Structure 1
Amino acid sequence: MALEKPAPRSRTVTFLAVATALQTLAIFFQAASAGLLLSTSYGEHLHSAGARVMYGAAMLYVLAAVLAWRPGGGSAAPIAHASGFLVLASIQVVLGIAHVPSVHVPLGVLMFGLSVLVLARQVAEAVRGRGVRG
């Protein structure tokens, strides 16, 4: 029995979901490192490094959205979502550098919630597309 190669569309959707999952994990790490920032001497370094990773994950999400749209023939809507996350990530970085926690923290919580929502939708869409029920 020969193994079938996945269709290009499913690979781009998988890459999009992986990019979204990485972004979600990076934002979650930022929440954890924010707690360490307040309670340890090394928390600032972790939060700073995490900010770079989170921003890179947001850029990867934009790239994955473009790749899922153009060659994969998918919807252009994920590009708008990914671009919005990149804008929010940029605002987060500026607010963090400016030490404005009254906006920085709630925006981080909002970003995490939105990222989880997008990831859940992508996973549900992938499950529906494969005919898996549950």
Structure 2
Amino acid sequence: MRVAVALQTLTIFLQAVSAGVLLSSSHGELLHGVGARVMYGASMLYVLAAVLAWRPGGGSPRPIAYASGFLVLASAQVVLGIAHVPSVHVPLGVLMFGLSVLVLARQNTGAADGRVLSGGSGPERS
């Protein structure tokens, strides 16, 4: 799960970089288009990882909802990008990056699955 979310976060960040290139170069459109496909694939990988972590691993189904939400947002991003609606496309991309960073941070601290890493004032980690 962590790898899938990290990959998704990285690809969303690279989309922001390629958007800057898009504004300043004729090669930016190709780079941004390829990046969109990679980001969408990373979002699908996140859904797959969430399902695999839930079913065989006995984890919480909540990450499946998060991953599915990201896939819906990624789908909206693709549609808005193709339709050339930057007034929604750009803020949605910023929102997606922020949410992806938040999920990644929660996973790295254990908060996503109910574990707490505060100095002893929470459930014990096993």
TM-score by length of 1: 0.83
Aligned residue runs from structure 1 range 111-126, under 5 A: 111-125=96-110
Q: Structure 2 unaligned segments of length 5 or more: list them.
A: 120-126
Tell me, yes or no, if structure 1 residue 35 matches structure 2 residue 20: yes
Tell me, yes or no, if structure 1 residue 81 matches structure 2 residue 66: yes
Residue 49 of structure 1: CA displacement? 0.2
Give, as a single letter, the amino acid of the residue that structure 1 aligns with 2:45.
L
Runs of 4+ in 1 over 2 A off after TM superposition: none
**Over residues 67-124 of structure 1, what are the superposed CA-to-partner deviations in whole Å (9 max), with x where a residue is unaligned?**
0000011000000000000000000000000000000000000000000000000010
Rounded Cα–Cα distance in structure 2 between residues aligned with 1:46 and 1:78: 30
TM-score by length of 2: 0.88
- Tell me what 2:41 maps to: 56
- Tell me what 1:101 maps to: 86
Residue 41 of structure 1: CA displacement? 1.2
- Tell me what 1:70 maps to: 55
Residue 43 of structure 1: CA displacement? 0.5
- Identity, % of aligned positions: 79
Number of residue pairs matched by the alignment: 116
